[in-house]
Structure 1
C-alpha cells in the first residue's frame, strides 16, 4: 500500500496511473507528493476524466483522461516542457486520496472500459492452526526470530561517533536548467550558508546548555548571520550594501557574532561609564604587558575601554559584566576572541587572542 493512499481502491488507482508516475523523475515525484497535500483543489470527476486546479507559482489546470482499457493520458497548462510536470503528479496523488474516501469515484473514472471498482481480494487465511495469519505473513515469518529470541539477543556495541570535519566542503548541487532563471551564484551562496549553519550546530551540539538559535527577525542582524558563511569580497560587499553597511563594518559584526554571540554585537559601539574604582583594578591586571625595554606598557582609558597602544590591544567591559578582547588592525578595532567573566582570565585571553581567525576574516 502506498504511503499516501490508505485503501485497496486508492492503491488500484495508483496502479492504473503507474505509467505517469514511472515517467516522472524523483524530484517531480517528491514535489508532486508535497503539492498533493495542500495545493490541489478537489478534483472534478466524470466518466473517464478528472480535472483539478493546482496552486504553484500560478494556478494551473490539470486534466487526466482514461480513454480506454489500459490507457491513461494527462496534460497541464503550465509552461514546463518536460512531461509529466509536478502538477500532473500532484493530481494523480490527490485522486488517490479522493478515491480512498469515495471508491465510487474510481468506477466513474473507469466507465469507458466497464471496469469494476471492487478491489482485489486479500490473501486467504491459513488453515486452522495458523489462525490470524495470512499466507503472505506466514511465508514472511517462516525463518524469523520469535519475540523471546529477539529480546534475548545481547545488545551490540554502539558504533564510534562520526568525526566532526575541520570545515565545510564546497557546495554540491545539480545546476537547474539555465532557462529557469535561477541565479546560480545566489544558489551556491545559500548552499554555503546552510552548510555553515549545520556545521556550527554540529560543533556546538555537545556544549552544555547549547540550543539551536532561531533566525533573527531583524533583517540587519540576519545579514550578519549570513555574513558568517559568505565567501568572496563581491558577495560580502553586496550583502553589506543591502543593509546599508560597509563590508568592513559587516565583517566586524560577523566576528563579534562568532566570538561573542548575537546578543553581544552591541559591544562594538556601546560606550558607557563603569564604576570608577574599576580602573585601578584593570590597570594593575594589565601591568603584565611591557614595552621592548621591559617597562610597563602605557594603558589609557576611555569610558568602558582600556587600550594598550604599544600592543594594539584593547579590553572592553560590557554591561553584562563580561570582558571583551579587541585587536587593532588597519586603524580599526576588531573582536579578537571570546569574552571572559573574570578579569584575570580576560587578560590571559588578551595575550593569546585568536589572531589567525581574526586576520582570515578581515582579509577575506
Structure 2
C-alpha cells in the first residue's frame, strides 16, 4: 500500500506530524476517544516505574516532543530532555499480515456504517469488534508497545519514550488512520480497497435482485475511449516551494543493508540543501572541502551533536575526514556559534587592526568584568578559563577552558559587544 492522507504530511510510506504546542491545562487528558485511551492503557499497563510515566507526561505537556514520524510498525521523534542534545525515542508495534488485512477489509466492507465511521475519523466499538471476530486485533494490548531511546536510561519506557507515547495518543484521538498506518495500512489504499469491495458487494446484491440478466450493473465508458483525443491541455504552473525542507522516510533495518540512521541523516542534509537551492537559486555550500562539510553536517544534525559524548555515526564521520571525535565536536560547536567565521576563529588566530579590539579591554574594566590579557585576536583572563575571540565580522566569540589546561571550547553566543559576550558566558 502506498501514499497517505490525513492531517499529517505524507512522505513515502509514512506520515509526519508537526510538534504539539505546550499544553496550557496540566490536568487535561491526552485522549478523549476510547481508542486513544486504550493506547495509553497499553503503555501504562506494563510500565515498571510510575515516576517515569509522570515525567513523560510532563515532557509531553511542556512540548518537549519534536516532529513525530509514523510509519508501519514504528513511531519516531526527537525528545528534548535536560541536556542540549535531544534523544531519539521510538515506539514499535507489530504490523498485520496480508491475511489479517484481507479479513479486516472483508469485515468492514460488508457494513457501510463502518466505512462511514472511518471517513468521519471515528472508530466505533462495533468496528473493532467486527475486526476481532475476523481474528484481527487493531488496538495494542499489554506488551504490544515496545519502546526504545538513545538516552542512557534503560527503563521501559524511559521518560522520553513515554512522552512520545502520550503525544501519539493525541494523534490517534484525532485520526484513527494513524493506528491503521502503524499496523501497516495506508489510508488512501485502505479506502480505495474498501470502496472496491463495497462496490462488488453492491453489484452482487443488485445482480441477485435483477430479473434481467443481460443488463450490466455498471454501464459506462471505457477509459481508452474517453482519453482517445489528440488534445493535451497545457501543464499547470509549478507549485511554490514549501516553507520548510521535507523529512526523509523511515527506512527499515535489513541484514546487509546500510545503516538506516546514517541514510536518514544524509537524506536530511540533501533535502535541506535542495530546499535552499530551490528557494534561493544557489547552493549555500558550493565549494566546501570535506572537513568543512563534515563540520557543517555534525553541527546541523541533532542526532550527531555533542561534547565528549559521541554516537557511532559521529565517530564514523570524524574518521572519514581524518580527525578525532573530539576535534569534530569542538569544530561543530564553533560552527553552531558562527558558521564559517566561527570555525575560522577556532582554527586560525589573526591580528586585528587598531580600533574596536583595542577598546575592548577598557570596556570590560569599566563594566567591572575580569581583566584580560591580549594575544593576537584573543582576550584571556588571568586564570586561563575565560576567553573572547574577535572575529573578522566584528563580533566577539566566547570560549571556556578548565584553568591551566589550554583546552578551549566555544560556549555561548557571539555578540557585537565584548561586555555582552563575556557577561553571557559568566551568567551561564
- Whether the TM-score (by the shorter chain) exceeds 0.5 is no
TM-score (normalizing by structure 2) = 0.35
- Where relative contact order (Cα < 8 A, 6+ residues apart) is larger, the structure is 2
TM-score (normalizing by structure 1) = 0.40
